[in-house]
Structure 1
Amino acid sequence: MDVLSLIGVILGFAALLGGNFLEGGSLGSLYNGPAILIVVGGTVAATMLQTSRPLLIRALTMLRWVITPPYVGLEDGIDKVIGWSMKARKEGLLGLESLAEKEPERFARKGLQLLVDGSEAEAIRSILEVELEYREQRDFDASRVYESMGGYSPTIGIIGAVMGLIQVMTNLEDPSTLGRGIATAFVATIYGVAFANLLLFPIANKLRGVVKERSRYEEMMIDGIIAIAEGENPRSIELRLRGFLQ
């Protein structure tokens, strides 16, 4: 679990609510059903309109990475590659077949299988890099869904504010409706800006960081697998891969 993300979300909203309380406001003053409907509904609708179904599903799937990101262990990856290289040095590339069958990581398993099949180093690199680049681009595009939501949210909040002011202006003769209309106007703006800057933009940036870490790990695996295919000794492979830890 990424405790830092959890603390960030809690601290951000605590600061917002705490500031409101210190200024003499109440929790109820920040709750407004119509404003929530306008901002959340409008933002989601605009995002759905611009996003393809597979990309939207991928973005929703990746959302859990904000709190529970996938494990990326560079040190463990290096140890794994060194173990493969030592086994290949002793038993040949066919000796890696049993490891390929048991390998839990799909990307690493594919690389090992290519080694066992006797593929040339450049062919292995080409196959694995195509998969890496496609997966990386897809995940970056999915993270941009939240960035787009962060762009729409404040604008939808302004629309909500204008709608609230319209209600105020059309009901000036009825003072009992003025308070509700003004509240919707200002609270909708707060919702739009707060959701964008406390949730949506940070989520997009967090997901991009996770995607970059996964890509760095897979780039390291590609280098290690290619080095094994080219017959480098385990010590040289280790020194090369430790450059990814810098």
Structure 2
Amino acid sequence: MDPSLIIGLVLAFGALLAMINMEGASVMSLLLPAPMILVFGGTIAVGVATGTVRDFIHAFKAVPRAFRGDRRTAHSMIDPIVGYAEKARSEGLLALEQSLVDEKDPFLRQSLQSIADGVDAEELRTLMEDEITSTAARNRTASKFFMTLGGFAPTVGIVGTVVSLTHVLENLDQPDELGHMIAAAFVATLWGLLSANFIWLPIGGRLQRLGELEVERMTLVMEGMLAVQAGAPPQFVGERLRALVSDRPQKKSSRRGADKGAADPALTP
């Protein structure tokens, strides 16, 4: 589990609460039902109106993933693929079918099944690229939905403020209540900006990043399994896949390591 979204939201709302306390204000003065119903209800409603019901359902099904993250990373797939390369070199490609039961990653399991079934390299690449493309499209749909909410929320908040100020102007004959009513009117704008920058945009950005990492992981699996199918040496497969990982741990460079890499062009991806 990667708790970055939870940590970020806790710190953001914590900073807001700290400011409220330092200003001597009350949190309850911001928790007004009417503007919150308009901002959250109206924002989600116009968000649904911009797409389809299926997009809406898919987006909110992705919310737990935004908080939970993805335990499967591109780097974590390298060792299993190298293991399959070793098994294929020693026992043959058909032996990979024995690993289907124990393999938890659906995409990797699908590639193992295709290799065991004798699918040629070109067809296997096409199948895996199509799966990557469809996965990327689904991820973009969920991310775009919350980004759209982040764009609508401030404007919906302004609409709520305008409505409240109209009510204020209708009650100018009650000067004792004007201060309270004007303050309440701007709560809608506050919740519009707050929900956009503290909720919708962070969730959308988080889903976008998780989608990018998932595509990176699937691309690594595709290149690795194609190399396994081609009978590449396990050492080459490992070096090739490590070169594809963008967030791989950085090792301290050394003259000896540099000379070794320069002397062995087979390890260069």
Q: TM-score, normalised by structure 1?
A: 0.95
Match of 1:79 in 2: 79
Whichever structure has more helix as a proportion of its residues is 1
Match of 2:117 in 1: 117
Distance (Å, rounded) in 2 between the aligned partners of 1:60 and 1:33: 23
Does structure 2 retain, via aligned residues, the 8 Å contact 1:72–1:213? no
Report the CA distance between 1:176 and its aligned residue: 5.6
Deviations 1:13-66 (A, max 9, x none): 121122122122111221211111111111011011112122212211111122
Moved over 4 A (4+): none
Report the CA distance between 1:180 and its aligned residue: 4.8
**Which stretch shows the higher mean deviation, 235-244 or 217-226?**
235-244
Does structure 2 retain, via aligned residues, the 8 Å contact 1:38–1:160? yes
Kindly report the root-mean-square deviation, in angstroms, between the aligned alpha carbons of the 2 structures.
1.5
Deviations 1:62-105 (A, max 9, x none): 11122211212333311101111111112211111111233221
> Does 2:231 match 1:231?
yes
Distance (Å, rounded) in 2 between the aligned partners of 1:95 and 1:158: 64
Match of 1:39 in 2: 39
Report the CA distance between 1:177 and its aligned residue: 4.9
Distance (Å, rounded) in 2 between the aligned partners of 1:41 and 1:176: 31
Match of 1:164 in 2: 164
Which SS does the other structure have where 2:231 is aligned? Answer: coil
Distance (Å, rounded) in 2 between the aligned partners of 1:175 and 1:18: 31
Does structure 1 retain, via aligned residues, the 8 Å contact 2:12–2:198? yes
Distance (Å, rounded) in 1 between the aligned partners of 2:88 and 2:166: 74
Listed as ranges, the gaps of 5+ residues in structure 2 are 247-269
Inter-CA distance 208–123: structure 2 relative to 1 (3 Å threshold)? same
Does structure 2 retain, via aligned residues, the 8 Å contact 1:34–1:184? no
> Does 2:63 match 1:63?
yes
**Equivalent pairs: percent with the same residue?**
34
Mapping of residues 123-142 of structure 1, within 5 Å: 123-142=123-142
Match of 1:8 in 2: 8
Listed as ranges, the gaps of 5+ residues in structure 1 are none
Distance (Å, rounded) in 1 between the aligned partners of 2:32 and 2:16: 16
Inter-CA distance 3–76: structure 2 relative to 1 (3 Å threshold)? closer
Distance (Å, rounded) in 2 between the aligned partners of 1:180 and 1:166: 14
Match of 1:222 in 2: 222
Distance (Å, rounded) in 2 between the aligned partners of 1:178 and 1:167: 10
Distance (Å, rounded) in 2 between the aligned partners of 1:159 and 1:111: 52
Code of the residue aligned with 2:91 in structure 1: it is E
